[in-house]
Structure 1
Amino acid sequence: MNRLPTVDEYLADVTAEKVTAAELLNDRHDPAKVAFTCIDADLNAVDLTYGELRERSEKVASALSKLGVRPGDHVATLMSKSPDMLATLLGIWRLGAVDVPLFTAFAWTAIELRLTASGAKVVVVDADQRPKIQETSAAVVVVGATTEDDAAAQFPEDLSFEALLAAEKPGFPAFVGNKDTPLVLIFTSGTTGHPKGVPVPIFALAAFRQYIEASLDVREEDVFWNAADPGWALGLYYGVLGVMVAGKRNLFLRSGFDAKTCFAVMEKFNVNNFLSAPTMYRSLRAAGVPAGSNIKLRRASSAGEPLTPEVSVWTKEHLGSEVMDQYGQTELGMFIVNAWADELAKEPRPLSMGHALPGFTCAVLENASDNIAGPNTAGRVAVNVKESPLAWFSGYKDAPERTAQRFSADGTWYYTGDAGRRDEDGYFYFQSRDDDIILMAGYRIGPFDVESVLATHPAVQESAVVGEPDEIRGEVVVAYVVLAEGNDGSDDLAAELKTHVKTNYSAHAYPRKVNFVPSLPKTPSGKIQRFILREQAK
């Protein structure tokens, strides 16, 4: 059995009087050890060692400093997964600056919001992403613009990443900060509305490392692959920061996600510890494992949105491991989990998020007060931050009113904004965002409960459930359903799905309306935006 560090041991790294992010993330590790295996669309791969990453990031830090970037300044990154991205991120942190991640699927509106809110001095952008950048006060550094035919060549004011680095030598001294030194300004996904800026300090690295080791159980001999994009919290926290502070290796696939490529990567690189969102697992299930594949996962984990049970059943049968559901937020990372590590592992229960990780004290509060709700009573999921030494979120950037809404008046509770319950054995269950709860004739109905039942019907690929105003009941349940391939929407199928929910969940919570749709509105990170569907249902 691998011994897990204690909470105090995790904290010791980040709470010294002087703390150096570059040391924690990179420089203390064996320079010959592989930090990342970077894979291109043709599955050609190159290993990037901690030593190579140090040298390249020192050049990046030096180049950025000559552009006027100082500790505490913001540098945005609009880059796909590559060695250049990793060197840039570590270079930013080595300089003491703050990364502002930009997802490569963003359009200008989303990019502009983040550049403006952060006041970024520089944006480092891949050449194929450069045309998205419109008028900005930030200096633009382009990666990979090598010929006059490149789209980036039409912007003569741009700076070349390669030229900047060619003029630099390694050896740039790493900035020495403390636990409150910011590393990242990441914005929430906009699941329920306007994105909010979340400052991520060095202190958060303790919690990120714990999740890698305690929840995911990533071991030295594992081939770990976090398939999430580092433009979002799951990919950045646990595909870059968490694995680096833990000294582990991650696969970094540059191409976009599709089931065929995912299976091929698992097969070729012998992946045995996999982390992804439920959307990806559902895509794998829909495609089916290629004939002759020999994929054998030791650990499979899911995060980012609720996991419906049919995914775990399929994954255990076809990939060798059930999927453990994990719960967290951009504001805190993961903190309620079905942990894999031997010391923390408990028998998973259907639809449960599991238990709070050590270092976090969590509860379900009553809806009308901060009293702890009784077992199996629906309420508000919250974190007692005064009793949670690994809790690191202190507030949104330039948004004191939004911050105040997240904490109780006495500062004891952080309100997640999610509804759930906790059973008599301490297992937590997610129901929905607070805003997504459906109030029908005095009943509180969580969309996830209904969606989980709909997911077990063979005709359903995915669904989203919202409330529609009703004069008599207040609200009624409405389902938006994306059908699995080979199925057609009809009145008969709609009636069958209603009966399916009545029979397998509850007679009061079945959808009064079933709308068949080609797709569901989602954030770029894949989370369903139910608030858009609620607007449609009015």
Structure 2
Amino acid sequence: MSDPAQNLRDWIATYNSPTTSVAHLLCDRHDPNTTATTEIGPTLEPTTLTYGQLKERSQTLATGLAHQGIQPGDRIATLIPKGIDLTITALATWRLGAVLVPLLTSLAPSAITQRLTDSGARIVITADEYRTKLDPTPHTPTPPTWKIATTGTQPLREDDHTLATLSQHPPHTTPHTTTGNGDIATVYVSNLIGPPRGVRVPARALAAMHAYHHYGLGVQDDDVYWNTADPGSAYGLYHGLISPLLAGHNSLALRAGFFDPELTLDVLGLYQVTNFATDPTTYRTLRAATKTLPPEIIVQRLASAGEPLSPDVIDWATDLFGIPIRDHYGQTELGWCAGLPNGDLQDAPTTTPPGAIGPALPGWNIQVLEAITDEPAPLGAYGRIAIDRAQSPLDWFDGYLGYENTIDIRFTPERTYHLTGDTGIMDRQGNLHFSTRDNGAIITRSYRIGPTEVEATLATHPAVDECGVYAIPDELAGHLVGARIVLNPGHTGTPELAEELRDWVSTHFAPHAAPHTVDFIDELPRTASGKMRRARLR
């Protein structure tokens, strides 16, 4: 069994170097004949990409992007589902020293425009089926400040480029190098107040991703690994795309625009998946649809991230699969840093008390702080989840795009703490119990939604005077979005208007953010000073 402390030192030294080459680390150093990605089509047929093919195709695309004026530090946005096209685009981006901005394909055009504008993207590369989402909106700069390329062979608009035409140049053979502090990605997260913020992901964050891949997920060289998360999210980017490439592993990528429990079981069985990482909604939906497990399914390790799993779901998985789900805690600004490990760790616990996530993973020291004193809270007492920076060599977050040095830090005479914005409890065995998002975000079907984003979208509808958005507990989704609406004069609250408002959010923001429940009220609950009392909306 390898020494975790030595592994961490090696990974940190490798990924936090003055001359870090991301393309070399994720691709060029690996056996060119080894499979890097297996894309699974709609009829479950596989298309594979080796590390040698990935190197060659990303080199030629990098040259084409350079001919379009892309330079180190420029941002390249993607609107591409998981799979071969995204993997090649990401590697080409990093060969140039550019910064990847992965976008959720479920976002509405206005939300995409906001992120493109905020990030300063120079070019956005989209799958053909999402090209219409990049058509001009009232918020699009005139002229647009970004170019557009599609993944198909033929341009869909007069000014479009395609990956095929961009890849017609001699290959760009010298990958760019950066320092460990150089950005490699910007991942957008919802914000309680105001628009979403772009998390700056530096090259040194690769050490945290590799450590979680090895210890948290426990992916072995002979595993068939499948992470179902959307690459526009942190879990999908960090551990569906990046960490398998770091380790030289193959990962499955299902090219499907919808979730289907029977399709999930088909992939698990047909491809003999042994290591499966997904979100709580997938497990809850599988439980509702699955009575017995097909004998061809041989999965040996299960992991979950996004929000805490209830003990009954973990018990169900243990009964059905014969193994428990390892529930892991993390966030976009950290990666994943706590939970029972699926990898080999000497003296690591194998069970936790009900409701507990587990201990900190190697490379992390997690504390729960009292709200007033910023001192460690007594064991078993509720407080704010924080990272002890001096004792957490994998902690990498330094701020948001355009808001550098905005990380929430607390200083005591003995320690420097990075506040996560979450709350919870630490028990006497060192297990973290997650309580809630301190920043008020709604987690629905593993999507993190800022209430103000939905409120701002609803407020653009001519019938809405003001509104408040809140979370509704739900057995399958975890939470659903609820909305209380105060109407403008001349409008009447009807079921038809409620449905119209749901469609409005779906069209102007994202389908996963559309309110499940819409209620019409005379006034919002407010404090004496006029501030909305969000907790009273429920």
The question of 1:270 aligning with 2:272 is answered yes
Name 1:420's counterpart in structure 2: 424
Name 2:234's counterpart in structure 1: 233
Name 1:199's counterpart in structure 2: 200
Name 1:212's counterpart in structure 2: 213
- The code of the aligned residue for 2:15 comes to V
Going from structure 1 to structure 2, the CA distance change for 1:484 and 1:128 (only over 3 Å counts) comes to: closer
The question of 1:537 aligning with 2:500 is answered no
Rounded Cα–Cα distance in structure 2 between residues aligned with 1:321 and 1:63: 47
Kindly state the Cα deviation for residue 82 of structure 1 after the two structures are TM-superposed: 2.5
Name 2:40's counterpart in structure 1: 39
Which residue of the other structure, out of 256, 275, 282, is the alignment partner of 1:280? 282
Name 1:346's counterpart in structure 2: 349
Rounded Cα–Cα distance in structure 2 between residues aligned with 1:393 and 1:75: 21
Name 1:488's counterpart in structure 2: none
Rounded Cα–Cα distance in structure 2 between residues aligned with 1:164 and 1:297: 40
- The code of the aligned residue for 1:140 comes to I
Kindly state the Cα deviation for residue 405 of structure 1 after the two structures are TM-superposed: 5.9
- The code of the aligned residue for 1:347 comes to T
Name 1:329's counterpart in structure 2: 331
Which residue of the other structure, out of 137, 144, 148, is the alignment partner of 2:145? 137
Contact 1:123 1:138 in 2 (8 A): yes
Once the two structures are superposed, residues 419-462 of structure 1 have per-residue CA deviations (whole angstroms, 9 ceiling, x without a partner) of 1010111111001012459xxxxxxxxx99xx9xxxxxxxxxxx
Which residue of the other structure, out of 301, 312, 315, is the alignment partner of 1:313? 315
Going from structure 1 to structure 2, the CA distance change for 1:30 and 1:387 (only over 3 Å counts) comes to: same
Report the RMSD for the aligned CA atoms in angstroms.
Answer: 3.1
Contact 2:407 2:418 in 1 (8 A): no
- Relative to structure 2, which stretch is displaced further, 404-413 or 357-366? 404-413
- The code of the aligned residue for 2:146 comes to A
Kindly state the Cα deviation for residue 56 of structure 1 after the two structures are TM-superposed: 0.5
- Relative to structure 2, which stretch is displaced further, 80-89 or 9-18? 9-18
Contact 1:35 1:49 in 2 (8 A): yes
- The code of the aligned residue for 1:39 comes to I
Name 1:169's counterpart in structure 2: 170
Kindly state the Cα deviation for residue 6 of structure 1 after the two structures are TM-superposed: 2.5
Secondary structure (helix, strand or coil) at the match of 2:222 reads coil
Going from structure 1 to structure 2, the CA distance change for 1:346 and 1:111 (only over 3 Å counts) comes to: same
The question of 1:383 aligning with 2:387 is answered yes
Name 2:96's counterpart in structure 1: 95
Going from structure 1 to structure 2, the CA distance change for 1:528 and 1:324 (only over 3 Å counts) comes to: farther
- The code of the aligned residue for 2:82 comes to K
Rounded Cα–Cα distance in structure 2 between residues aligned with 1:204 and 1:327: 17
Secondary structure (helix, strand or coil) at the match of 1:264 reads helix
Rounded Cα–Cα distance in structure 2 between residues aligned with 1:228 and 1:307: 16
Going from structure 1 to structure 2, the CA distance change for 1:483 and 1:247 (only over 3 Å counts) comes to: closer
Rounded Cα–Cα distance in structure 2 between residues aligned with 1:227 and 1:116: 28
Contact 2:355 2:433 in 1 (8 A): yes
The question of 1:480 aligning with 2:472 is answered yes
Rounded Cα–Cα distance in structure 2 between residues aligned with 1:390 and 1:175: 24
Identity within the alignment, %: 36
The question of 1:361 aligning with 2:361 is answered no
Name 1:222's counterpart in structure 2: 223
Going from structure 1 to structure 2, the CA distance change for 1:267 and 1:337 (only over 3 Å counts) comes to: same
Rounded Cα–Cα distance in structure 2 between residues aligned with 1:81 and 1:274: 16
The question of 1:251 aligning with 2:252 is answered yes
Normalising by structure 1, we get a TM-score of 0.79
Going from structure 1 to structure 2, the CA distance change for 1:394 and 1:220 (only over 3 Å counts) comes to: same
- The code of the aligned residue for 1:311 comes to V
Rounded Cα–Cα distance in structure 1 between residues aligned with 2:31 and 2:64: 25
Kindly state the Cα deviation for residue 296 of structure 1 after the two structures are TM-superposed: 2.4
Kindly state the Cα deviation for residue 379 of structure 1 after the two structures are TM-superposed: 0.3
Going from structure 1 to structure 2, the CA distance change for 1:378 and 1:358 (only over 3 Å counts) comes to: same
Normalising by structure 2, we get a TM-score of 0.79
Once the two structures are superposed, residues 306-352 of structure 1 have per-residue CA deviations (whole angstroms, 9 ceiling, x without a partner) of 11111111112212321011000100101112112221531321221
Rounded Cα–Cα distance in structure 2 between residues aligned with 1:529 and 1:30: 48
Kindly state the Cα deviation for residue 2 of structure 1 after the two structures are TM-superposed: 6.2
- The code of the aligned residue for 1:142 comes to T
Secondary structure (helix, strand or coil) at the match of 1:356 reads coil
Once the two structures are superposed, residues 252-300 of structure 1 have per-residue CA deviations (whole angstroms, 9 ceiling, x without a partner) of 1111321111000001000111000101111111111567443122100
Kindly state the Cα deviation for residue 524 of structure 1 after the two structures are TM-superposed: 6.5
Going from structure 1 to structure 2, the CA distance change for 1:157 and 1:173 (only over 3 Å counts) comes to: same
Rounded Cα–Cα distance in structure 2 between residues aligned with 1:483 and 1:274: 22
Question: How many aligned residue pairs are there?
Answer: 460
Rounded Cα–Cα distance in structure 2 between residues aligned with 1:484 and 1:230: 22
Secondary structure (helix, strand or coil) at the match of 2:11 reads helix
- The code of the aligned residue for 1:334 comes to W
- Relative to structure 2, which stretch is displaced further, 192-201 or 46-55? 192-201
Rounded Cα–Cα distance in structure 1 between residues aligned with 2:411 and 2:97: 33
Once the two structures are superposed, residues 60-88 of structure 1 have per-residue CA deviations (whole angstroms, 9 ceiling, x without a partner) of 11010000000000010011122111101
Going from structure 1 to structure 2, the CA distance change for 1:48 and 1:156 (only over 3 Å counts) comes to: same
Kindly state the Cα deviation for residue 526 of structure 1 after the two structures are TM-superposed: 7.0
Rounded Cα–Cα distance in structure 2 between residues aligned with 1:102 and 1:43: 25
Structure with higher RCO (Cα < 8 A, 6+ apart): 2
Rounded Cα–Cα distance in structure 2 between residues aligned with 1:304 and 1:248: 23
Rounded Cα–Cα distance in structure 2 between residues aligned with 1:292 and 1:356: 34
User: Structure 1 stretches of 5 or more lacking a match?
Assistant: 147-151, 438-446, 452-463, 467-477, 486-518
Kindly state the Cα deviation for residue 398 of structure 1 after the two structures are TM-superposed: 1.1
- The code of the aligned residue for 1:214 comes to Y
Rounded Cα–Cα distance in structure 2 between residues aligned with 1:524 and 1:233: 18
Rounded Cα–Cα distance in structure 2 between residues aligned with 1:405 and 1:50: 37
Name 2:304's counterpart in structure 1: 302
Kindly state the Cα deviation for residue 404 of structure 1 after the two structures are TM-superposed: 3.6
